[in-house]
Amino acid sequence: MRQLELLAPAKNLECGIAAIDHGADAVYIGAERFGARAAAGNSIDDIRRLCDYAHPFGAKVYVTVNTILYDSELDATRQLLCQLSDARVDAILVQDMGIIGMGTHNLTLHASTQTDNRTPEKVRWLRDIGFRRVVLARELSAGEIAEIHRQVPDVELEVFVHGALCVSYSGQCYASQYCFGRSANRGECAQFCRMRFSLVDAEGRVVERDRHLLSLKDLNQSDHLLELIEAGACSFKIEGRLKDAAYVKNVTAAYSQRLNAIISRHPDKYCRSSLGRCTYTFTPDLRRTFNRGYTTYFLDGRQPAIASFDTPKAIGQFVGTVKEIRRDSFNVAGTTSFANGDGLCFLDEHRQLVGFRANRVAGNRIFPYRMPQGLRPGQRLYRNSDQEMDRLLARPSAVRKIAVTLSLRAVDDGFELSAQFSGAVRSVRVAAEHQPAQKPPRENIVRQLSRLGDTIYECERVDIPADFNYFIPNSVLTEMRRQLFESEEFFDERSGKAERRVKSEEFAAAIPASAVDPTSAAANSSLFTLHSSFPSLHSSFLSNISNRLAAAFYGEQAPTAFELKGGEGPLMQCRYCLRYELGYCVRHGGQRPQWREPLFLALGDGRRFRLEFDCKNCQMNVYGSE
């Protein structure tokens, strides 16, 4: 039976706990440094507390150590890995291959999507050098995922299913570093792709003026999880390590329910990778949380309308069309209920997003604090801030419990109480006399043993032999129950602590201690080249080699990262294509364009970025300003 994992983001401890409570099988979180979201760092103590909270449910905690590293940071990274191992994290996400040279830690490695994982060959190479799991590029179709799984069936495949999309293949975007000195590979992306551009041809003619031509809609695969499961994916990742707890609660709950529905239809094939049933005080609804509009991206191959040219901001849920407008209010045609304080928006006649607050609501009539300019009858209205949903999610909104079956029986010297769930069994015994009961004891025993209080467990059933007729004092029953559920051993047996991690020494044992010392000449040892069989782009900044250990791993003489040296080559490699998005890809049935290439993306300050259309590989590349 295949285990399915819902993987949720955690900006901080609060978000991580919320994710577990709302149905996540695993969470990913950043430490204080070296995570691909520099603004989402957390202390080791908070990560340890998150592990302590997650592990009793069998849920896992992955830590992002997925930036490229400089030589001056290697010692600090090695110390961090030791601390994460001590905190009992379940895996780390890695981009920089220099970390393999630090293989003295009891940690499982996952290859971050920043390692640019789009082919069976790359995934096989990553498996061969010791990665248990590979996070695939967001751009892959279900068919391409299935082919990777067919060729490399013994590696776990993690896929993104929800949230913001990068327009460039992850790990291959240098635009932020090039324009602003802020490296996406160092967790400091300035979101170049969300900026406003004009599209200009070789003769200076403007094809599109001041639009967000590289800004994509948000990913939503909630209706296509079974396709991804059947393709071979085992972990389904929600993007959003900068999102707040309300976002995490709603999105995690929505996807958890979808996975459970699939499992209920195929109980002999699939199960969740963690334990516990969640009950919610709200109805999860992906339309009622932050989104730029939704797309399934390349799930079924190339498709149009995956970009959001008009705005990079959240549009939210469509709530109806503007009907009648008065001096201080308007009404909305539709069935949506509104609340005072809702954030509403529309696109005006210039395709500019206009937002405003509902100061007061009377049925479907909205009274803004100030009537927005450009509002017209017939315009489509959206809600991007939902006060009622926010109120629901600001309170405790889910309870997660593990259902257990308790069994009580008499033994020679007393009584034994056992708890069983998901194949795990734990028992405790107490010495006591076998006193015949003066009245049937079953009802009282069930009542006392079922009181699991504020533990993470709920009693599903109490099994007592039909001929059981002994008196047991309530104090004894209470003590047996306490011993059973407060036992550290019980948690460890249930959560499989001994099996949770695999030592990275398995693939780093051949590396001498001197090689992991960044001050040592042995750091360039040819032993590292044992792992460099994959034909990567050596001597190019596209390999993201930024330290001595990574250079030695690839058999290079020195770091070549763009962040250190710059370089000639594309700033972005995109499967997304503006030709296609605008309807001018002849290869895919579009009309023949009238412009003269090359095309350029032009910023308002005059900087231009040349576009290259690599039709052989169905890819668009973005080059530096001219």
Over residues 488-546, the pLDDT tens digits come to 555 554 444 433 333 334 434 433 344 444 333 333 333 343 344 554 544 578 889 99
Q: Report yes or no: 103 and 507 within 8 Å, Cβ to Cβ.
A: yes
The DSSP bridge pattern shows strands 133-135 and 109-111 to be parallel
Per-residue pLDDT of 397-430, as tens digits, reads 999 999 999 999 999 999 999 999 877 888 999 9
pLDDT mean over 60-73: 96
pLDDT at position 488: 52
Q: Are 372 and 366 in contact (CB under 8 A)?
A: no
Long-range CB contacts (within 8 A, 24+) of 612-618: 612/570, 613/577, 613/579, 615/587, 618/302, 618/575, 618/577
What per-residue confidence (pLDDT) applies to 515? 40
pLDDT the model gives residue 626: 65
Do β-strands 600-602 and 608-614 pair in parallel, antiparallel, or remain unpaired?
Answer: antiparallel
Mean pLDDT of the chain: 90
Q: What percent of the chain has pLDDT over 90?
A: 83
Q: Work out the average pLDDT over 268-292.
A: 96
Write down the pLDDT at residue 567: 81
Classify residue 446 as exposed, middle or buried by CB count within 10 Å of its CB (0-12, 13-18, 19+). Answer: middle
Residue 7 contacts residue 236 (beta carbons within 8 Å): yes
Using a pLDDT cut of 70, give the percent of the chain over it. Answer: 90
Task: Quick: pLDDT tens for 601-623.
Answer: 999 999 999 999 999 999 999 99
Give the N- to C-terminal CA distance of the chain in Å, as an integer.
Answer: 56
Q: Backbone phi, then psi, for 17, in 5-degree steps?
A: -65, -40
Placement of tokens 């959560």 in the chain: 495
E strand or H helix at 50: helix 44-54
Q: How confident is the model at residue 36 (pLDDT cuts 50, 70, 90)?
A: low
> Which among 384, 378, 386, 358 is positioned nearest to 370, based on CA atoms?
358
Res. 185: pLDDT tops 70: yes
Token representation of residue 244: 């707040």
Among 266-270, 294-298, 487-491, 515-519, which stretch is predicted with the lowest mean pLDDT?
A: 515-519
pLDDT per residue as tens digits for the range 307-365: 999 999 999 999 999 999 999 999 999 999 999 999 999 999 999 999 999 999 999 99
79-113 pLDDT per residue, tens:
999 999 999 999 999 999 999 888 656 799 999 99
> Given pLDDT bands bounded at 50, 70 and 90, which one contains residue 453?
confident
Cβ–Cβ < 8 Å for 456, 522: no
Please indicate whether residue 523 or residue 474 has the higher confidence score (pLDDT): 474
Position 65 scores a pLDDT of 94
Q: Could you tell me the two tokens for 447?
A: 């009542």
pLDDT by residue (tens digit) across 218-245? 999 999 999 999 999 999 999 998 999 9
Rounded Cα distance between 485 and 201, Å, is 70
pTM check: above 0.85: yes
Residue 39 pLDDT class (50, 70, 90 cuts): low
Q: In angstroms, rounded to a whole number, what is the distance separating the alpha carbons of residues 10 and 3?
A: 22
The angle subtended at Cα 485 by Cα 484 and Cα 488, nearest 5°, is 90
